[in-house]
Structure 1
């Protein structure tokens, strides 16, 4: 038995470091100036997009490019429905554009702002009728916080947030009242992108106008812009339903049409022609064909930066997030949901807008298209030489504050979905200090140019840190996008440590299970030695606790491996619900296990290794309680 325990420990220590690897962040190329290729040639643009679509193996896609007040190029590719061999028609095929819906919701709320019905600096609670947001922090959430994703609301509410039948679909007010996630950070501190804040913004539109949200948007935005084939309705109206594309997974397996509860944040369906009208209005001061949706001043206000983590880093506008690609300011937004991916970006300096929609779920599609478009149509030319940065060497005492592991902040902090970070879907990066006092972030070298600000070589790529009132580093903000916000973790919060802890606990529980089975076999066959054994009640307690905890771990692994992630939008699988009851039981059993450990050491004179083994089981059970509590697995935290 001792040999088995030691061997398992050794194997665990060898394999777990490789299991706990996390994806690396992408380091940008050296800084360069951009020079646009003019003019755009429609056939060449269509060929470029077709090549991109083919390279991504998309079942279907459609795009539109607008510039100087007109459509320059537009085309559809592939199939809207593979089974029926229905081709994509760029003008008539509808795609679900997911989070790009937020741009329309932003316009709707800004319309009410123009009319004086809402102030962007007011506490949101002033306008909420059916519910109130908890005042978790002294500073209130303002209307502007909703539009810039700085409200501090947690990003979790995916479980049960959609369904295919519609029998559990809640009115917007009731859904927010029942499911609004908690605040996890004070407002105006960090960019924490999510659906909750923009869904509240959509509810404000509905509450202040006394018109259902989807109806308001149709009357005040779609009709003035001639967007006759756009809708937030779920299911779509009969006049549009026949033309909506079928959504597909990456392997081209179909995805059923889901009714999304967070309607204002993700539910819009539209065509490339309609989105061309929307982009033209954005590029023309809110006007389109003698109709206006916003004034020129409000449109300009929507597109300017209102939040950033540091003056050297790009931030967020209202609805849009910003990208500084050398000498171009780009307004952009992407969207992904079951079966669909889309992206929209504007380059106001060139009076240009681009939109692409696909009926395939590809989380990286917006970024891939952006990089391909810029590389092709804005080829880089060498930048003029810059003076070498006047970096400051970090002292050993100061450098230790920066060293550590940081986690991408866009993950559910207070719900079951936090498990996505443990299984590697949320990046963690490691920051170290070099011998000459610089920082390395995923292999790239940064030099300090001012307190808490570091520069990559002599480029315009920066990383900024933030510290709390006690001088402790809490965040690092990277790169060319406001999305790149990472929280500094304590050593015991990292995926690497937690994977190691889980493995050790599972190993100890397994060893206890083996001991328990051996004891059971000896009792069954009456092959008992004269050596005193553990008290039977203590052995039963340790065996039951270990078995249940192992059952929970194996069951959760099975559920995560064999459950399509989109199924969770419909609700928790019954197996997962049963499994989540186990930690509640074993937490109570662990209290008895602690008492048993005291009794074993006080009243049992058997072999020392047996006492140590029993104590290890108790420590593993206590550590396991911490593990399930940290990952929100202790109880039912998904409603």
Structure 2
């Protein structure tokens, strides 16, 4: 569930609130003509079933409608009243609920969240530095990313799930952002505890209800009438689409809401004009205004809202990504304009998420007046080569407990190279629109601008971390060369090649027609062969599970038997490896086999331990009771 990556690019650091914004010059006819031209074409090119779109401006709804199909099985069209999954836009509704209780004096944003909990507590990992609601709403609580078991076929009470699935605290709160679904779900749980009612009921009565959002709900019950009317979600399947199996999101406040285009228009209008039915002036301003930034020169976080710049204009918003569903909401306070769009499919080519970001960017470029923020806002300055900033940087939103760690490292790590002219080059997804190689020119102290663009990149003191204006919810932390994923994977591959040489043992015995080993030497070879076989089966199973990637994600999020089997294979191999290490020592002490055979066995033992060390680093080896 990313947050406006790609749509929000760097700019001024405070979006502010929008009450009293001048009437927009957006022409309803031009908006409809743009959408009628662009959306159907995008659905066709990306093989997406349908889309829901809303645009507001000048204090009124300019457009709310649907395109394509809500249910491919029945052919039911998607229209302005069709509820669609909004995924992580749900977090804005959850934060609104928190702020309502703060406004009433029932919650305190800056007190230890444990004061609001019952039945379990957030661990005191960093004494004197408690997690607060403010940390939860700005993604700065310092949690690891934990993905296993986040959804399933059977519903779980929110509090029970949160109590038994607490992620580790891996950094002090308020230090760096790391997007956390658990954090927003925990904030939602605080709401239901303080309000004395289930979270979904509180939101329906206090957020959706007052605004007339009758086609929106957090209730995931299959019997809820809106769930039957909601757009089904789809994944590409050959030349067509197949439905995503329904499941319960166990962290509901972070991503389970559905809403229609017309309802999203109502919500955006309430945010832009400061509707007291939602929140009074002060709390709404606090929610929208910037509350945290890695660097004050970068866009940062409000309470659940992410700040940025689009089309040269300051804005704040959120987006959502799920299985077969993607959405984006962008609010332009200085223009009084809001845009919401969602699709009910993953799509092909660049995909549904990237397609939405491109749609909103084109809408801003074509329909909004040119904004004041651009390349000239950040003129290039002379700077010495910044060798101290070069190196490897690890994505902060990473797991310390499940195999998604490998996926995050492979897809999101960044390399930084320093040039003699003072510029930098990054390799990796610092910018959503340019996930490959980007050149950056210096525009301030440890501050860089993408060459020819207005996107910003800032480094911490000594280059300890980096952050991009492209996404305020995450940062990257410096790691040593020995912690690099490329090195780890190369070691694992080399170890796998060595392990395959154990096949030579039975082959050699057949060719030479000599008597096989007996007693301990035979057991030693059996242990090494079993270790190698288990690890080779692990590699083959992992390759199958990851192709397509959705299969692995389903296993991970659902914590299925397939994931258990995947992790059991290297765990069993680790048990064998202990015997192999002992056997290697005994082979030299008792002079089993020839010197060359002993050397080979020792190398196999070291290869097995090397492979298992990599598997351990990426959480594929599990301990009993873990």
TM-score range, shorter chain: 0.7 to 0.9
Q: CA deviation at 1:464?
A: 1.6
CA deviations 1:229-264 (Å, max 9, x no partner) are 111111255432332111111442111222211111
- Asked if residue 479 in structure 1 is aligned to residue 469 in structure 2, the reply is yes
TM-score, normalization by structure 1: 0.85
Q: State whether residues 56 and 337 of structure 2, in contact with CA within 8 Å, keep that contact through their aligned partners in structure 1.
A: yes
User: Residue 416 of structure 2 aligns with which residue?
Assistant: 431
- Asked if residue 551 in structure 1 is aligned to residue 548 in structure 2, the reply is no
| CA distance 1:358–1:455, change in 2 (3 Å) | closer
| CA distance 1:578–1:108, change in 2 (3 Å) | same
Q: CA deviation at 1:432?
A: 1.1
User: Residue 490 of structure 2 aligns with which residue?
Assistant: 500
| CA distance 1:481–1:583, change in 2 (3 Å) | closer
- Asked if residue 304 in structure 1 is aligned to residue 289 in structure 2, the reply is yes
Looking at structure 1, the residues matched to 227 and 96 of structure 2 have their Cα atoms a distance apart, in angstroms, of: 25
Q: State whether residues 334 and 366 of structure 1, in contact with CA within 8 Å, keep that contact through their aligned partners in structure 2.
A: no
Counterparts of residues 553-572 of structure 1 (less than 5 Å): 553-561=539-547, 564-565=551-552, 567-568=554-555, 571-572=558-559
SS of corresponding position for 1:535:
helix
Structure 2 gaps, min length 5? 13-21, 347-351, 428-436
Aligned residues: 589
Q: CA deviation at 1:69?
A: 1.5
Looking at structure 1, the residues matched to 259 and 8 of structure 2 have their Cα atoms a distance apart, in angstroms, of: 33
User: Residue 489 of structure 1 aligns with which residue?
Assistant: 479
User: Residue 329 of structure 1 aligns with which residue?
Assistant: 314
| CA distance 1:41–1:565, change in 2 (3 Å) | farther
| CA distance 1:354–1:440, change in 2 (3 Å) | same
Q: CA deviation at 1:45?
A: 1.6
Deviates more, 1:435-444 or 1:322-331: 435-444
Q: CA deviation at 1:104?
A: 0.7
User: Residue 393 of structure 1 aligns with which residue?
Assistant: 384
| CA distance 1:226–1:38, change in 2 (3 Å) | closer
CA deviations 1:522-550 (Å, max 9, x no partner) are 58xx4459x99993333223222222222
Looking at structure 1, the residues matched to 393 and 363 of structure 2 have their Cα atoms a distance apart, in angstroms, of: 31
User: Residue 179 of structure 2 aligns with which residue?
Assistant: 193
Which of the residues 45, 61, 64 maps onto 1:74? 64
Q: CA deviation at 1:482?
A: 1.3
Looking at structure 2, the residues matched to 176 and 532 of structure 1 have their Cα atoms a distance apart, in angstroms, of: 54
User: Residue 466 of structure 1 aligns with which residue?
Assistant: 460
| CA distance 1:339–1:633, change in 2 (3 Å) | same
CA deviations 1:7-33 (Å, max 9, x no partner) are xxxxxxxxxxxxxxxxxx98999999x
SS of corresponding position for 1:73:
strand
Looking at structure 1, the residues matched to 138 and 625 of structure 2 have their Cα atoms a distance apart, in angstroms, of: 26
Looking at structure 1, the residues matched to 332 and 307 of structure 2 have their Cα atoms a distance apart, in angstroms, of: 10
SS of corresponding position for 2:130:
coil
| CA distance 1:213–1:596, change in 2 (3 Å) | same
Looking at structure 2, the residues matched to 450 and 62 of structure 1 have their Cα atoms a distance apart, in angstroms, of: 41
| CA distance 1:586–1:371, change in 2 (3 Å) | same
| CA distance 1:637–1:487, change in 2 (3 Å) | farther
Counterparts of residues 402-413 of structure 1 (less than 5 Å): 402-413=389-400
Q: State whether residues 555 and 562 of structure 2, in contact with CA within 8 Å, keep that contact through their aligned partners in structure 1.
A: no
Q: State whether residues 285 and 297 of structure 1, in contact with CA within 8 Å, keep that contact through their aligned partners in structure 2.
A: no
CA deviations 1:196-230 (Å, max 9, x no partner) are 01001100110111111111111111111111111
- Asked if residue 596 in structure 1 is aligned to residue 563 in structure 2, the reply is no
SS of corresponding position for 1:516:
helix
Looking at structure 2, the residues matched to 536 and 241 of structure 1 have their Cα atoms a distance apart, in angstroms, of: 62
Looking at structure 2, the residues matched to 27 and 503 of structure 1 have their Cα atoms a distance apart, in angstroms, of: 37
SS of corresponding position for 1:309:
coil
Structure 1 gaps, min length 5? 1-24
Q: State whether residues 542 and 566 of structure 2, in contact with CA within 8 Å, keep that contact through their aligned partners in structure 1.
A: yes
CA deviations 1:552-581 (Å, max 9, x no partner) are 222222233266245326633324323422
User: Residue 48 of structure 1 aligns with which residue?
Assistant: 34
Counterparts of residues 44-443 of structure 1 (less than 5 Å): 44-53=30-39, 54-55=41-42, 56-90=46-80, 92-138=81-127, 139-157=129-147, 159-164=148-153, 166=154, 169-235=155-221, 238-251=224-237, 252-287=241-276, 292-325=277-310, 327-361=312-346, 362-378=352-368, 389-394=380-385, 399=387, 401-421=388-408, 424=410, 426-442=411-427, 443=437
Q: State whether residues 95 and 359 of structure 1, in contact with CA within 8 Å, keep that contact through their aligned partners in structure 2.
A: yes
Q: State whether residues 46 and 75 of structure 1, in contact with CA within 8 Å, keep that contact through their aligned partners in structure 2.
A: no
| CA distance 1:403–1:76, change in 2 (3 Å) | same
SS of corresponding position for 2:106:
coil
SS of corresponding position for 2:546:
helix
Looking at structure 2, the residues matched to 588 and 454 of structure 1 have their Cα atoms a distance apart, in angstroms, of: 49
Q: State whether residues 389 and 458 of structure 1, in contact with CA within 8 Å, keep that contact through their aligned partners in structure 2.
A: no
Which of the residues 624, 628, 633 maps onto 2:615? 628
Q: CA deviation at 1:68?
A: 1.8
Deviates more, 1:102-111 or 1:586-595: 586-595
| CA distance 1:528–1:307, change in 2 (3 Å) | same
Q: State whether residues 556 and 576 of structure 1, in contact with CA within 8 Å, keep that contact through their aligned partners in structure 2.
A: no
Q: CA deviation at 1:454?
A: 3.3
| CA distance 1:583–1:488, change in 2 (3 Å) | same
Q: CA deviation at 1:148?
A: 0.8
Looking at structure 1, the residues matched to 8 and 196 of structure 2 have their Cα atoms a distance apart, in angstroms, of: 47
| CA distance 1:569–1:30, change in 2 (3 Å) | closer
| CA distance 1:238–1:324, change in 2 (3 Å) | closer
SS of corresponding position for 1:63:
strand
CA RMSD of the aligned region, Å? 3.1
Looking at structure 2, the residues matched to 435 and 544 of structure 1 have their Cα atoms a distance apart, in angstroms, of: 52
SS of corresponding position for 1:39:
coil
Which of the residues 563, 581, 588 maps onto 1:576? 563
Looking at structure 1, the residues matched to 371 and 287 of structure 2 have their Cα atoms a distance apart, in angstroms, of: 31
